[in-house]
Structure 1
Amino acid sequence: MAPLGKALNAISCDADDATKTGNTVFSGDIDSDWRIGNVPNGGYVLSLILESCIRYQVATSHRDLIHVSAHFLQATSIASFEVHVRTLKIGRGFTNVTADLIQQSRTRITTHLIFGTLDPPRLLLPPSTYARRLPLYLHPSIAEPSTTVGVWKFSQHMKWSIDPHLRAQNGHDSPTRTSPTTVGGGGVVWGAWLTLTDPAERITPASIAFLADTFVNMPFLVPKEERGGVSVGDSWYPTMTLSIEFKAPIPPPSERHAARTVGLYCKQTFWGEPQGRHDPYVEVWTAPAELGETGKVKDGWREEQICLATATQMALVIPMEVNKGRAKYDAPAKGKL
């Protein structure tokens, strides 16, 4: 039971296994704090895979994570795990790697990753009128804290402030609602500042997978009459697929960029069957200050922030009873995952 950084660092490499199988095997234990109900948070478990692969690539010329696509084949459990990593191709600019997370001899998550060299962005930056700007309205030093989701057992390790201006865009009377004459548009938006509360925490490339999977799902954001009878308070929103593109290196902590706070922006447009399938799109941004850190508002703070990553996923809406039915099991003996 540890803060995110420590929960990701509890990984070891079995060099002997690499000789036997051709895969490099990393192992560890899924921390019980980082779960939703009885099931580990999908973004957190993907962060464990990313941490393993980053260690695998650290001594190569392609050390920076560029892209990951993950398929969640089966929910994981609070138990030991192994990550089996192997190289598919080494090219001049990129290395392609695959990694599978295994528990109880079953592949629970399979991933394909691209590593390369991640440079700071140079094109389409402010003051260009084509540049994407930080999509949050309030500076984190003046943002009001918000409650987190009750079934998130990791809430003790984070705090956030949901952007009220974005939330208001989902109302019936918002000018963003569509009509028969509207071209495009629709869907719902959401955003927040999120801080990892332990003072020793730092945003890392591996932790971005957890951050990109921490948002309010579409059924919570639409009015009740638009939900088709779905009970949002008694539902679980498991991830089926998640892809992340890493846009820029994480800047070191400074007066312009916080060490353990990010800005999150989410847009969700389509929602339907089967199993309430919907399509969150998430941006992860740097923050100009830690959440609630006073006296930090400076002119031009918004245009100094950098988009660190964008993520897309396919998520479901299923009864929470499915989650509750997954009791954790005892960690099996080493080598018998």
Structure 2
Amino acid sequence: MSTTTFAAVSAVKRRSPGGFDADISPQWTIGGKPNGGYLLALIARAAVAEREHHDVLAASAHYLRSPEPGPAEVEIETLRTGRNASQVRGRLTQDGKVAVEALFTVGTLAEGEPYWQAGLPDPRFDVESPVRVPGHTPSGLPVAIMDEIEIHLDAPSARVFTEGPSGVGELVGRLALPGGEPFDPVSLLFAIDAFPPATFDIAASGWVPTLELTAYVRARPAPGPLRVLHRAHLITDGRADESCHIWDSTGKLVAQGTQLAGIRV
């Protein structure tokens, strides 16, 4: 089990105006490769550091190459500063090579009830007889990150690890950070990419690397585990797209996202 917090492993240290040092944890990896949502959250820590607008509202990242665990650098550029929102570019580099390029809209999350939400998936699902996700993929690839976080799938979703894919392309479950650490707007960027690929419920595969990830943070989450609905939509030409909706412990939608990933089936 983890002996640290997500805030600690995603922390950055300012070394110059717009420049930050980071340390990519080897524990937040899949097959030795850092999780894409974790890398996006790490860049976001720098994007909102000492900024009047301190909440991430939207983020979009392109993954050029996978960095290795260890020291890395984050460069931040303010593109626009507005009254209610600002736009920021972030770049994670290692050994002089760009690994992740990201754009953020940052602002201040407001409280209150949604004006309309009928277009959302039904959040009234329960995780019955939850099963913790093991530290390996169905094909046997080691997933060190599962020793840090807790993902419990409902019984139908968990069968992908014991009986194989159902063909539905959907995973439902709960997500918690180490030690029950509360989620914040930055760690929600990780949550969007925390679940096993929903494509596991369609066909067995190894690592499913993220090519592009877009995330919207809709509200500040209440304390407690998150409820997650992760769906695959189309697999073609060696690529798959997935969507993710996340509700907090009160049933409020707090984040949603989509991603394009590479896949071999």
Q: TM-score, normalised by structure 2?
A: 0.86
Quote the residue 2:4 is aligned against. Answer: 2
User: Rg bigger for which structure?
Assistant: 1
Helix, strand or coil: the match of 2:66? coil
Residue in structure 1 matched with residue 246 of structure 2 by the alignment: 284
1:316 counterpart residue number: 262
Q: Which residue of 1 aligns with 2:207?
A: 236
Whether the 8 Å CA contact 2:151–2:195 is kept in 1: the answer is no
Q: How does 1:133-212 map to 2 (within 5 A)?
A: 135=123, 137-138=125-126, 143-150=129-136, 151-164=142-155, 171=166, 188-199=169-180, 201-212=181-192
Match of 1:306 among 230, 235, 252: 252
Name 1:12's counterpart in structure 2: 13
Contact 1:102 1:109 in 2 (8 A): yes
Distance in 1 of aligned mates of 2:184 and 2:122: 20
- Contact in 1 for aligned 2:89/2:103 (Cα 8 Å): yes
1:272 is aligned, of 236, 251, 264, to 236
Q: Does structure 1 residue 51 correspond to structure 2 residue 42?
A: no
Q: Any idea what SS the aligned residue of 1:138 has?
A: coil
Structure 2 unmatched runs, 5+: 137-141, 160-164
Cα distance in 2 between the residues matched to 1:56 and 1:148: 38
Structure 1 residues 124-151: Cα deviation after superposition (integer angstroms, max 9, x where no partner): 46xx8x3746535226xx6423233412
Which of 96, 116, 133 is the equivalent residue of 1:105? 96
1:247 maps onto 2:218 in alignment: yes
For 1:286 and 1:309, the matched residues in 2 are separated by 9
2:82 to 91, 114, 137: 91
Q: Which runs of 5+ in 1 are unaligned?
A: 19-23, 173-186, 288-303, 320-337
Partners of 1:171 and 1:236 lie apart in 2 by 19
Q: Note closer, same or farther for the CA distance 1:207–1:278 as it changes in structure 2 (3 Å cut).
A: same
Q: For 2:215 and 2:108, how far apart are their aligned partners in 1?
A: 16
Query: Aligned with 1:191: secondary structure?
Result: strand
Provide the rounded CA distance (Å) in 2 between the counterparts of 1:88 and 1:42.
23
Q: CA deviation at 1:56?
A: 4.2
Q: Distance in 2 between matches of 1:237 and 1:121?
A: 37
1 CA distance for matches of 2:236 and 2:72? 33
Could you say what secondary structure the match of 1:198 adopts? helix
Judging by fraction of residues, say which structure has more strand.
2
Does the 8 A contact of 1:134 with 1:285 survive in 2?
A: no
The equivalent residue for 2:28 is: 34
| RMSD between aligned residues | 2.4
Aligned AA (2:13): S
Residue 220 of structure 1: which of 187, 192, 200 is its match? 200
Residue among 54, 76, 95 paired with 1:63 = 54
- Partner of 1:5, secondary structure, is helix
The number of equivalent residue pairs is 253
State the 1:167 CA deviation.
7.0
Contact 1:277 1:317 in 2 (8 A): yes
* Mapped partners of 2:43, 2:166: distance in 1: 38
Tell me, yes or no, if the aligned pair for 1:35 and 1:153 is still in contact at 8 Å.
yes
The offset of 1:220, in angstroms, is: 1.6
**TM-score between the two structures when normalised by the length of structure 1:** 0.69
SS at 1:270 equivalent: strand
Matches of 2:196 and 2:34, distance apart in 1? 17
- Give distance in 2, aligned partners of 1:119 and 1:103: 36
Query: SS state of the match for residue 215, structure 2?
Result: strand
Query: 1:65: how far off?
Result: 1.2
Aligned 8 A contact 1:238 1:317 in 2 = yes
Shift of 1:192: 0.8
- Aligned partners of 1:71 and 1:110 also within 8 Å: yes
- CA offsets, 1:69-107, max 9 Å, x none? 101011111121111011111123221110100100111
Alignment correspondent of 1:176: none
